[in-house]
Amino acid sequence: MTPRHTSLLYHDVVDGDPSASGFSGAAADRYKLTTSQFARHLDAVSAVAGPAVSVLATPPGDAFHMSFDDGGASSLAIADALEARGWVGHFFIPTAFVGMPGFLDVAGLRELAHRGHVVGSHSHSHPLAMSALDRSAMADEWSRSTVILSDLLGEAVTVGAIPAGSYSRAVAEAASEAGLDRLFTSEPTAKTWRLGTLTLYGRFSVVAATPPDLAVAFARGDARAVALQAASWKTKRAIRSAVGPLWGLTRDLILQRRKAG
C-alpha cells in the first residue's frame, strides 16, 4: 500500500497586529494563529502524531509533515516551537516578498535552511489563481522562485507548494518543468499521487478558528474530519472568485509599494 503523508498547513503565528507577519487584510488574517493557539495545537497534535519530518528525508511508511505558507516574519519563531519538539517544518516562500515588511529576509531564509527545515517555493508573486494563468506565466512563477531560492540557499530547491491551493495539471507540470519534484497542494487528503517525475501531496488547512481537536482529527486521518474539510474545500473553490479579490488587493498593494520603493 502506498504510504500516507499527512500534512498540516498553517500560515503565520503572530500576537498583536496580524500584519506583523505575512500578508495583511481580513482574508489573510483568518489564517493566523496566536502564539498560545499554536502552542495548544502543537501540544494536542503531538499527542497523536509526529514527529513531523522532512519530506526529503522520509523513511519508508507513513509520514507526518508540518507546513507553513507565505514566508512571514514569524517563521523563525515557528521553527523554535517545532524544534522544541524535535520537529522539522516546511516553509514555502513567495520570493517577490522576501525582505518586505512582515516577511522573512534573506538571512532568515538561510537560517531556516541551516537549522534543518525545508525551504521551498510558493511561486514568485503569489498569484491567487495560478491555474488561470497562461503556461508561460505559470512557468515564470515557478522558475523565478526556484532560481532565486536556490541561489540564496546555495542548493537546488526541489520542493514547492501551490499558492492559494490553485491546483491544476498544468500548474503541476509547470512546477515539474521548473525543477520541482515534490509539490504540496491544498487537496485535503493524505494520499500522494504522481505526475511524471513529480510527487504531489495533499494538506489539511488549519485557520485561526480551527480548534486543536480538529487539527488532531486531521493528523489522525479521522474520516469525518477529512470529509468535512473536503466538503468545505469544494465550497471554497466555488466561492474563491468572491473572496480572492480581497486578498489580491493587499498582495497587489504590497507589490506596488515594492516597485515604488
Return the bridge partners of 182, or none.
159, 199
Q: How many positions of this chain bind Zn ion (CB under 5 A)?
A: 3
Site string for Zn ion, 125-164 (x = CB under 5 A): --------------------------------------x-
Q: Which residue is nearest to Zn ion (CB)?
A: 69
* Interface segment toward Zn ion; rule CB under 5 A; list 64-72, 130-138, 210-218, 240-248: 64-72
Provide, rounded to whole angstroms, the least separation between the CB of residue 168 and Zn ion: 16
Q: How far is CA 141 from CA 118, 206, 226, in A?
A: 19, 25, 30
69 binds Zn ion (CB under 5 A): yes
DSSP, res 134: -
Residue number, 29 or 70, with CB nearest to Zn ion: 70
* Interface segment toward Zn ion; rule CB under 5 A; list 62-70, 97-105, 129-137, 178-186: 62-70
Provide, rounded to whole angstroms, the least separation between the CB of residue 92 and Zn ion: 7
Rg, Å, the chain Cα set: 17
Cα-Cα-Cα-Cα torsion 173, 158, 61, 220, nearest 10 degrees, comes to -80
Query: Which residue in the set 12, 29, 70, 187 belongs to the binding site for Zn ion (CB under 5 A)?
Result: 70
Contact 182, 198 (CB under 8 A): yes
Whose CA is closest to 189, among 2, 19, 34?
Answer: 2
Contact 52, 78 (CB under 8 A): no
All three cell numbers of 153, joined, read 540557499
Strands 204-205 and 5-10: parallel
Residue number, 49 or 70, with CB nearest to Zn ion: 70
Contact 166, 155 (CB under 8 A): no
Q: CA-based angle 114:9:40, to the nearest 5? A: 90
Provide, rounded to whole angstroms, the least separation between the CB of residue 12 and Zn ion: 10
Residue number, 28 or 44, with CB nearest to Zn ion: 28
29 binds Zn ion (CB under 5 A): no
* Interface segment toward Zn ion; rule CB under 5 A; list 63-71, 79-87, 192-200, 210-218: 63-71
Residue number, 166 or 216, with CB nearest to Zn ion: 166
Interface with Zn ion (CB under 5 A): 69-70, 163
